[in-house]
Amino acid sequence: MPTMMKALRKMSSGPGLQLESVAVPEAGPTDALIRVRAASICGTDLHIYGWDRWSQSRIKPPLTLGHEFCGYVERVGEEVRGIAPGDFVSAEMHVNCGYCHQCRIGQPHICQNLEIIGIDRDGAFAEFVRIPARNVWKIDPGIPEHYAAILDPLGNAVHAVLAGEIAGHTVAVTGCGPIGLMAIAVARACGCSTLFATEVNPLRAALAKRMGADEVINPVEADAVARVRAATSGAGVDVLLEMSGNPTAIQQGFKMLRAGGRASLLGIPSQPVNLDLVEDVIFKGATVQGIYGRKMFETWVQMTALLKSGRLDLEPLFRERYILDRFQDAFTLLEGGQASKVLFYPNGGVDMVQK
Amino acid sequence: MPTMMKALRKMSSGPGLQLESVAVPEAGPTDALIRVRAASICGTDLHIYGWDRWSQSRIKPPLTLGHEFCGYVERVGEEVRGIAPGDFVSAEMHVNCGYCHQCRIGQPHICQNLEIIGIDRDGAFAEFVRIPARNVWKIDPGIPEHYAAILDPLGNAVHAVLAGEIAGHTVAVTGCGPIGLMAIAVARACGCSTLFATEVNPLRAALAKRMGADEVINPVEADAVARVRAATSGAGVDVLLEMSGNPTAIQQGFKMLRAGGRASLLGIPSQPVNLDLVEDVIFKGATVQGIYGRKMFETWVQMTALLKSGRLDLEPLFRERYILDRFQDAFTLLEGGQASKVLFYPNGGVDMVQK
Amino acid sequence: MPTMMKALRKMSSGPGLQLESVAVPEAGPTDALIRVRAASICGTDLHIYGWDRWSQSRIKPPLTLGHEFCGYVERVGEEVRGIAPGDFVSAEMHVNCGYCHQCRIGQPHICQNLEIIGIDRDGAFAEFVRIPARNVWKIDPGIPEHYAAILDPLGNAVHAVLAGEIAGHTVAVTGCGPIGLMAIAVARACGCSTLFATEVNPLRAALAKRMGADEVINPVEADAVARVRAATSGAGVDVLLEMSGNPTAIQQGFKMLRAGGRASLLGIPSQPVNLDLVEDVIFKGATVQGIYGRKMFETWVQMTALLKSGRLDLEPLFRERYILDRFQDAFTLLEGGQASKVLFYPNGGVDMVQK
Amino acid sequence: MPTMMKALRKMSSGPGLQLESVAVPEAGPTDALIRVRAASICGTDLHIYGWDRWSQSRIKPPLTLGHEFCGYVERVGEEVRGIAPGDFVSAEMHVNCGYCHQCRIGQPHICQNLEIIGIDRDGAFAEFVRIPARNVWKIDPGIPEHYAAILDPLGNAVHAVLAGEIAGHTVAVTGCGPIGLMAIAVARACGCSTLFATEVNPLRAALAKRMGADEVINPVEADAVARVRAATSGAGVDVLLEMSGNPTAIQQGFKMLRAGGRASLLGIPSQPVNLDLVEDVIFKGATVQGIYGRKMFETWVQMTALLKSGRLDLEPLFRERYILDRFQDAFTLLEGGQASKVLFYPNGGVDMVQK
């Protein structure tokens, strides 16, 4: 067992990251120490890398990034039950307090004192990561290793899709980034009816088709609202899954929604959004849901079941695999606007070739 | 049975109303003709009276106003079952088509082809009104006559309060017009926890207290958001009942809502509202509901039960009673901004004195 | 348009049926007359054919049987909107009153005064059948003709499966008659997790596998409860779909259910069942649902969407096709205990060969 | 701080209890030690006292009884946050494991490895009791001390009543023991419609009236089913709260339930119950729920709110107060079949007079 390890870190306020050598974390009595097998880059990591306004207010350097990963349990604290060294695991990176009102009434995913590993504490872009044992999730043997590295965003998608009825329901997905694309596959696997997607990026639009969208509309080139309404006898869709965070897309999404429909909002707009509450929510009797994180741990159970069933083909999402040393190439690749998951293998041991 | 009757009508595009003599309506085979006992003036009637922008786009004169009322069945069409002449009734004034998607799946209150009696067809500010028989609701004998005249707005309040869990939940009611005030009484009767109300008008604020609010805050004089959060250990309320339609109140209401809470929106803002979707909906995992009309007819069943139980004291809401001839006085009284229900008795027969 | 037609009828109290020539029904102002294309034999028809105790108490001869069918609209009454001659349709054969408590609160499928076409009124084993127009359901062009003939039992299965959460949930289906088999396919199409089925008949067991069961257990040969619990880490399944009506299977099904699970009961036991309420319901915090008919018309919408998506392969269920004259062969075939759908084509026009 | 204390214990297999002097419990790092103020005798304690069949299989002497109580925090372990010495508290006595499937998906109240303090570990009929800190519940200052001693059974009642919609719904409560009586008061405070109760014991029947039942029926003297159906226009009640555990009462309760209604079962029958599943559950489309314990901790939040509102008058339930030395008198009193709560004050300090 080494005492020092490589970690990809934000060392000071400002753009960029640095590969550092740091001490391997100590695991407390209720913690697990995980040897990272694979970790995936999230859009949030790109924001921190670029040091946008949100990052400036939230991130306190120095910090090791990384909150999507899988690995092997290396060591557990003395009070830990249910997991043991050698287990192949991922983890819920939202750490709840256990004491606030929401924690007490069964809504820990919206805990008032939530901390996120890789955002507020050192994360998984490193050879080892420390995780509270109750946040560790054992991976079913039927799930491929690289899928296990992206359960965090897949959980976002599953939480959004299953936040209401989906079987036999028409769906619009606005925005086909990685989570939007996963949501398409999940909705399809759960028996949704006709699924429309909107996306301006041609690469993402093509992926949306491969993930199972019946129709992908470029909202710059076509009137997406008119198209969806025409295809639903004027009624609109039963379910809106808003995955873009783009104010115009949000507004269009609401216009696509039928009266009595459900809008699940996951995409993060960078500013307040002007909503026509009367026509789009009140007169429609619509239900609007904020989707944050994943339910702990219902979503993990559902996600495991969907993956085991073999109905979720996520292969189209994967691109390059890198060792941490080549992080610059990885971030540059993603800054091009791809809806792809790029994986780090901090401990090496795979062919770092393109998937 | 007379052939002509008095009716209070909008005769042309522009402000004001006129008392006219018109033919008593014919009842078709599936209709009921009702002799109006009492009818109540809604805020919508004030808008039509004043001829605001919404009225200009929606109302097609000539039209008899009035959609809150009670009366006695005078005659029923040959295919009508379940009601008979002499029955004391009110009616659901939202007439659904029965054929659209929402009607077919049990959501007739948000029918795609909804018509409202008193808005799109001749209403109840008249001696008689024609109603499709399936929209007629027989009044339980335990319900006072003047209460029976305001079941329409009471139904709005009941629908909003019972659109989610309420027993043991903390509540904020933003806006204490008649429906807001009724919502306070309904939430209280259904076992809510601490109930906060916001209102600028001192008369309405005083009524809010009488209806059962634990604390009424004037948001111009105090920081309502800070006050509600402080009183809920920083968490915010479980349930927001938005009854004002005021953009600032809506924004404040969302800031009062706890993570995981429910916001039921009923007040009608006259323009789009700028919402901080990230902080107020998405990160909160909040549920936002548009509340329109009343559920047909679950809400009517619930409302009847609450009234029969004697737990809803609506007396503070009632003001003057008028014959139709004095409509000018009635509208002038209400334009003063009172949260009060003023009743017409088109067929006379009561002391037209102040309650 | 003929005035007389062939109809397969129960003419008197006792076993058997007769092929009769009767008058084509008159369609009233709110009715549709349908020219039957294909009709399917239900287990209930077998009971009436054999004249069991239930039939003796419910059926009033003379009566034309048949409540699973599709056909073409021949004629509509003057008050009918939304359907027209030539439309390809099926129908909800449960006719609700529209006036009772359940009808008023959006639960018409459990109307207090329900009548069933083919049980209480003349049904679809005839060249023509009369249906109240609001019960008629237009068939989406993407749905195969023979599937359209079995929407009634498919709707039972869809109603049972979607009466609670199913995606990502483990399932046990006890009893693999036609509706049980359909439920397997529906649960699979809606993203269920591991699905166990129990069945003693080897033919049905084989079909269960083809419909998508992960494991089919013969409860006579193996300890089905022990097997399901072992395969679910001792917890039991999330969802029980009881399709057998067999008291022992019902008891076993409850023992397979995990604490907090859902049991949806559709199979009809012929006598009261002894239930261990303490261990199987109360201490488990289980939810038990009675499943009757189909939701009008949410289930029809969901069913249409699932069929259009192409995810439901029902072909294994179909067997012979007959003209009405050969009804004796059809009933004899089914009395052998097959989980198959046998179709009548009262107006001929297909090859009456084995599928 | 003493090292020894009095405790009321089952010392060996067989009827009776003994007052013993035992060591004050040690509190581990995540525990709290509570100085008991008042503790209440549950029906389960009577069973253990009398040593019935259930007790023989479950209880492992020696054991200190008592699972309904309130007290003051004396000491907390080093890892405990959120409570401190001096806090006035009660506790959820169902201790969940935190690792099983149900614990992980937010259903800890039906944990697979549940242990109950006072049943499986030493309880609160003693001067001190040790409780895991996360099970401790701080008492709102607005709640009377003696009410704080019976939050455990009150929580059962609240969980049962609020397991589905209650406002505006008709209710039947079968069985008016303490929890049934509390359920009457809770349903009333939450806006229920007409509430029927059944009870044979005249004392309990009288209490049912005082707690808010509209009508109390002695099912031995009157046809309770016929009476309830007649009073609900033949439909039956919306909600059955089964609190008796008596097989006949359970069967009658189901016959009182309307189609589409909810039956929440809490009473524990001592043997399997013969149910007419077809007529009472399946054809009715009924929902049946097992009610066990209390939701952790939603129920505690709701209960606190209801008590604070002042709407729950539980005074009629209270009888004598005793010191532990007089336990024989207390148990003898209750064996007479009263629906009353008798309190122990192990540390003395009140007038031990009859309430």
Q: Which residues contact A258 (CB under 8 A, 6 or more apart)?
A: A170, A232, A235, A236, A237, A238, A284, B101, B102
Give the rounded distance of the alpha carbon of A254 from its chain centre. Answer: 23
Q: Which amino acid is at D266?
A: L
pLDDT tens digits for range C70-102: 999 999 999 898 999 999 999 999 999 998 999
Q: Do residue D134 and residue A295 have CB atoms under 8 angstroms apart?
A: no
Q: Which residues of D touch B170 (CB under 8 A)?
A: 305
Chains C and D form CB pairs within 8 A to the count of 121
Residues of B with CB under 8 A from a CB of C: 81-82, 98-99, 101, 104-106, 134, 295-298, 300-301
Are the C-beta atoms of residues B173 and B148 closer than 8 Å to each other? Answer: no
Residues of A with CB under 8 A from a CB of D: 81-82, 98-99, 101, 104-106, 134, 295-298, 300-301
**DSSP symbol at A193:** S
Q: Which residue of C has its CA nearest to D276?
A: C272
Token output for C241: 């779909």
Q: Which residue of C has its CA nearest to A191?
A: C190
Token output for C198: 């129990």
Q: How many CB atoms lie within 10 A of CB B310?
A: 9
Q: Pick from C325, C330, C324, C319: which is nearest to C353 by CA? A: C319
Q: Do residue B190 and residue D167 have CB atoms under 8 angstroms apart?
A: yes
A47 given a catalytic annotation: yes
Given a cut of 80, is residue C353 above it in pLDDT? no
Token output for A65: 């990034």
Given a cut of 70, is residue A107 above it in pLDDT? yes
C-alpha span between C128 and B182 (Å, rounded)? 54
Residues of chain B falling short of pLDDT 70: 351-355
Q: Which amino acid is at C281?
A: V
Q: How many CB atoms lie within 10 A of CB C259?
A: 21
C-alpha span between A233 and A237 (Å, rounded)? 10
Q: Do residue D168 and residue B311 have CB atoms under 8 angstroms apart?
A: no
Q: Do residue A295 and residue D99 have CB atoms under 8 angstroms apart?
A: no
Active site residue ranges of B: 44, 47
**DSSP symbol at B329:** H
pLDDT at D354: 45
C-alpha span between D67 and D149 (Å, rounded)? 10
Q: Pick from D254, D166, A190, D289: which is nearest to C262 by CA? A: D289
CA angle (C246 as vertex; C240, C252 as ends), nearest 5 = 45
SS3 label, residue B136:
strand
Of D258, D259, D288, the CB nearest to C281: D288
Of A168, A303, A305, the CB nearest to C302: A168
- Chains with 3 or more CB pairs under 8 A to chain A: B, C, D
Half-sphere exposure of A32 (CA within 13 A, CB side): 30
C-alpha span between B106 and C32 (Å, rounded)? 22
Å between B341 CA and nearest CA of chain C? 28
Q: How many CB atoms lie within 10 A of CB A221?
A: 8
pLDDT tens digits for range A120-173: 999 999 999 999 999 999 999 999 999 999 999 999 999 999 999 999 999 999
C-alpha span between A167 and A161 (Å, rounded)? 10
Q: How many CB atoms lie within 10 A of CB A56?
A: 11
pLDDT at A1: 83
**DSSP symbol at C25:** P
Q: Do residue D259 and residue C110 have CB atoms under 8 angstroms apart?
A: yes
Domains contained in chain D, CATH given = 4-150+314-345 (3.90.180.10), 159-290 (3.40.50.720)
Give the rounded distance of the alpha carbon of A29 from its chain centre. Answer: 29
Which contiguous run of DSSP H or E holds residue D190? none
SS3 label, residue C289:
strand
Given a cut of 50, is residue D323 above it in pLDDT? yes
Q: Which residues of A touch D296 (CB under 8 A)?
A: 104, 106
Q: Alpha helix (H) ranges present in chain D?
A: 43-50, 53-58, 101-104, 145-148, 151-161, 178-189, 202-211, 224-231, 247-256, 277, 298-308, 327-335
C-alpha span between C94 and C44 (Å, rounded)? 14
Q: Pick from D49, D55, D40, D61: which is nearest to D125 by CA? A: D40
Q: Which residues contact C243 (CB under 8 A, 6 or more apart)?
A: C160, C173, C174, C175, C176, C177, C179, C180, C183, C266, C267
Of A260, A266, A278, the CB nearest to B269: A278
Are the C-beta atoms of residues B266 and B243 closer than 8 Å to each other? Answer: yes
Q: Do residue B192 and residue D305 have CB atoms under 8 angstroms apart?
A: yes
Residues of C with CB under 8 A from a CB of D: 100-102, 105, 107, 109-110, 112, 233-235, 250, 258-260, 265-266, 268-269, 272-278, 281-293
Token output for D161: 């009543």
Q: Which of D79, D100, D104 to mutate to test the interface with A (most CBs of A within 10 A)?
A: D104
Least-confidence region, from A217-231, A287-301, B3-17, B327-341: B327-341
Q: Alpha helix (H) ranges present in D162-312?
A: 178-189, 202-211, 224-231, 247-256, 277, 298-308
Percentage of the residues of chain C whose pLDDT score is greater than 70? 99
Token output for D252: 């009658």
Å between C102 CA and nearest CA of chain B? 9
C-alpha span between C105 and C111 (Å, rounded)? 10
Q: Which residues of B touch C104 (CB under 8 A)?
A: 296-297, 300-301
Q: Which of B277, B279, B281 to mutate to test the interface with A (most CBs of A within 10 A)?
A: B277
Q: Which residues of C touch B297 (CB under 8 A)?
A: 104-105
Q: How many CB atoms lie within 10 A of CB D15?
A: 11
Q: Which residues contact B239 (CB under 8 A, 6 or more apart)?
A: B164, B165, B166, B169, B170, B171, B172, B187, B192, B261, B262, B263, B264
Q: Do residue A269 and residue B284 have CB atoms under 8 angstroms apart?
A: no
Which contiguous run of DSSP H or E holds residue A327? helix A327-335
**DSSP symbol at C246:** -
* Pairing between β-strand A31-40 and β-strand A69-76 as defined by DSSP bridges: antiparallel
pLDDT, chain D, mean: 96
Of A110, A259, A291, the CB nearest to B260: A110
This model of the complex carries an ipTM of 0.96
Measured in degrees and rounded to the nearest 5, phi and psi for residue C44 equal -60, -40
Q: Which residue of A has its CA nearest to C167?
A: A190
Half-sphere exposure of B266 (CA within 13 A, CB side): 32
pLDDT at A163: 98
Measured in residues, chain A has a length of 355
- Chains with 3 or more CB pairs under 8 A to chain B: A, C, D
Q: Which residue of B has its CA nearest to C294?
A: B105
Q: Pick from B64, B76, B114, B74: which is nearest to B93 by CA? A: B114
Q: Which residue of C has its CA nearest to B105?
A: C298
pLDDT tens digits for range D296-309: 999 999 999 999 98
pLDDT tens digits for range C328-342: 999 999 988 887 899
Q: How many CB atoms lie within 10 A of CB C20?
A: 15
Q: Which of C171, C194, C214, C302 to mutate to test the interface with A (most CBs of A within 10 A)?
A: C302
Token pair 């873009």: residue: A244
SS3 label, residue A216:
strand
DSSP letters, C107-164, are: -GGG-TT-EEBTTTB--SSBSEEEEEGGGEEEPPTTS-HHHHTTHHHHHHHHHHHTTS
Q: Pick from A318, C338, A277, D349: which is nearest to B270 by CA? A: A277
Å between A302 CA and nearest CA of chain D? 10
| Predicted structure pTM score | 0.97
pLDDT at C352: 58
C-alpha span between A194 and A212 (Å, rounded)? 10
| Mean of pLDDT values over D21-25 | 98
Given a cut of 80, is residue D355 above it in pLDDT? no
SS3 label, residue A234:
coil
Of A162, A165, A191, the CB nearest to C306: A191
| Mean of pLDDT values over D199-218 | 97
C-alpha span between B265 and D80 (Å, rounded)? 41
| Mean of pLDDT values over A209-225 | 98
Q: Which residues of D touch B311 (CB under 8 A)?
A: 191
pLDDT, chain A, mean: 96
Q: Do residue D235 and residue C101 have CB atoms under 8 angstroms apart?
A: yes
pLDDT tens digits for range A262-271: 999 999 999 9
DSSP letters, C257-271, are: EEEEEEEEE-S--SS
pLDDT at C355: 42
Peptide bond into C61 cis (omega under 30): no
Check the CA dihedral C84-C86-C88-C94 and report its sign.
positive
Question: What radius of gyration do chain B's Cα atoms show?
Answer: 20
Q: Do residue B193 and residue D309 have CB atoms under 8 angstroms apart?
A: yes
pLDDT band of D336, cuts 50, 70, 90:
confident
pLDDT at B338: 81
Q: Which residues contact A221 (CB under 8 A, 6 or more apart)?
A: none
Q: Which residues contact B92 (CB under 8 A, 6 or more apart)?
A: B135, B137, B152, B155, B294, B296, B297, B300
Of B260, B281, B291, the CB nearest to A282: B291
Q: Which one from A3, A47, A67, A101 is the annotated catalytic residue? A: A47
pLDDT tens digits for range D50-81: 999 999 999 999 999 999 999 999 999 998 98
Check the CA dihedral D112-D118-D120-D122 and report its sign.
positive
C-alpha span between C311 and C188 (Å, rounded)? 9
Q: Which residues of D touch B191 (CB under 8 A)?
A: 167, 189-191, 305-306, 309, 311
Half-sphere exposure of A220 (CA within 13 A, CB side): 6
Q: Which residue of C has its CA nearest to A214?
A: C309
pLDDT tens digits for range C236-284: 999 999 999 999 999 999 999 999 999 999 999 999 999 999 999 999 9
Q: Which one from C3, C44, C170, C232 is the annotated catalytic residue? A: C44
Measured in residues, chain D has a length of 355
Measured in residues, chain C has a length of 355
pLDDT tens digits for range D95-123: 999 989 999 999 999 999 999 999 999 99
Given a cut of 90, is residue C115 above it in pLDDT? yes
Q: Which residue of A has its CA nearest to D135?
A: A104
Q: Which amino acid is at B42?
A: C
